[in-house]
Amino acid sequence: MSHIPSALPAELAIGIVHLGLGAFHRAHQAVYTEDAIQQAGGDWGICAVAMRSRELATVMLENNGRYSLIEQQADGPELRELSVIREVLCLPDSPGMVIQRISDPAVHLVSVTVTEKGYCFSGPDRHLNTDDPLIMHDLANPSQARSMPGILVAGLRQRRESGGTGLSILSCDNLPANGKLLRQIVLSHAALLDAELAQWIEQNCRFPDSMVDRITPAATVATLTLASDLLGRADPAAIETEPFRQWVIEDDFAGPRPAWEKAGAQFVADVAPFEDMKLRMLNGAHSLIAYLGAVSGLPAVRDVMQVSAYRTLLDHHMAMAAETLEGMDKEDAAGYRAQLLERFENPAIDHRCLQIAMDGSQKMPQRILTPASIRLARGMTVDTYALATALWVRYLMGRDEQGAAIDCSDPLIGQLQLIFNASDAMSQRIAGLGRIPGVPQDLFNQAHWVDQVADLVNASNTHGVRAVVSELVDSI
Ligand code: CS2
């Protein structure tokens, strides 16, 4: 059989609202939920909400939420159809329906994948950014909310008013202590509207932390062609992913949940060690790969991995990252590194460097800058960290080594450019990065770090990225 059809029943009530209908949700939480229902039953159909993209909502609706997932196994692609998404809403078109769903007594869970910037937070204490135009809009027009915190609070308000029970609200984004962050911004947003609502949320809702992992590139024309070959008909909602998947969840729920453990999820008391390991080793290496690729003119992760000096650099970087982790033993770290190298090298996965490079201001702190700061405080070397930061700066300067324009995308691009334009001296420009919210300022107050990054920006400009990487790799 060229494809595996979905085995879920035709009738399945909605028990989950998911905010952020991207490829990642469809390749990760939706798969765990479909598998959990298959194994243990339960009315856990998903109402998936596209936060912005009308186009995606329309494509998903064409087939009533069904879609194809291609898993790029070592022995070739395998397509399975999923039908766990039973309702698709587009937030800008129907905020009222999203609010209604969140307040539905049959719904026990809201899960979230809106990327780092969707949390609308700022500063080292990660407070709700009330200067964010979306948050300002939502505080003034709660029933027309467009932001993740805004729509959650509007839904919770209606839930409380209609006498509903508390909800479990599960963050699935790549942020440290993601549940704690989500709780903080939701409570702050609620408190600005209604202090009693904030208290009700605090007492009745739970925000478990979770670590999610599955490399899922944006679908391309090649994805759709492969899907139609395997399926025998077109599926404009098809996506592709790697075989690996992991989900570690804090066991702290307000009510019932799907039997995700039957689908391989791990429930633990403390997710932090898993999060730090994944953010610093996988995502940290990913950002280094992304900027190496963007500046060297290599389009995909697999292309970067083909350059032997880059591969050695990445392995070394992950070893350095492992040293910042509490309680990770050398053998486990070596095994994880080897597995990650293999995943990055998967020739069937066309993961674009620019997809990972975007939103660096939201990603670099937890992936590169905080672990760099930890290493410096312990008197350890930070070469690969300084290089990742220098390449991020090169990316932000907007030209690759062939002189082609780089399509930079970052919510703070305006502020970053102001910092770069404020001075001609590279070290002053680098020091200015310490003013970006979320960036560990103390790191950029250290002249040694600033000079190391500035020297690497200049050296890579003069001698080329490959020469700089070769020199670094030779010194290992
Ligand atoms: C990537 C992640 O785009 C990015 O920033 O580093 O999306 C990565 O692919 C996932 O976290 C893998 O689980």
The values of phi and psi at residue 98, to 5°, are: -70, -45
Q: Which of 278, 286, 314 to mutate to test the pocket of ligand 1 (most atoms within 8 A of CB)?
A: 286
What is the 3-class SS of 228-261, one letter each residue?
HHHHCCCCCCCEEECCCCEEEEECCCCCCCCCHH
DSSP 179: H
Q: How far is the CA of 66 from the centre of ligand 1 (A)?
A: 24
Q: Which atom of ligand 1 is closest in space to residue 355's alpha carbon? A: 3
Cα 251 from Cα 311, distance rounded (Å): 37
Question: What residue's CA is closest to ligand 1, atom 4?
Answer: 356
Report helix, strand or coil for 171.
Answer: strand
Q: Which of 282, 289, 354 to mutate to test the pocket of ligand 1 (most atoms within 8 A of CB)?
A: 282
Q: How far is the CA of 153 from the centre of ligand 1 (A)?
A: 27
Q: How far is the CA of 379 from the centre of ligand 1 (A)?
A: 29
Run means of pLDDT, 10 residues per run, the chain, 476 residues: 86 98 97 98 98 94 95 92 98 98 98 98 95 98 98 98 97 98 98 98 98 97 96 96 98 98 98 97 98 98 98 98 91 95 96 98 98 97 98 96 96 95 94 94 97 98 98 95
| Two tokens, residue 44 | 């856990």
Cα 69 from Cα 31, distance rounded (Å): 9
Cα 214 from Cα 265, distance rounded (Å): 13
**pLDDT reported for residue 2:** 65
Helices within 306-412 (DSSP H only): 308-322, 330-345, 353-357, 360-364, 370-377, 383-396
**pLDDT reported for residue 328:** 84
Q: How far is the CA of 372 from the centre of ligand 1 (A)?
A: 20
Cα 452 from Cα 426, distance rounded (Å): 11
Question: What residue's CA is closest to ligand 1, atom 10?
Answer: 215
Helices within 23-172 (DSSP H only): 23-27, 29-40, 54-62, 95-103, 133-140, 148-161
Residue type (1 letter), 59: V
Alpha-carbon distances, residue 459 vs 221, 389, 426 (angstroms): 38, 13, 11
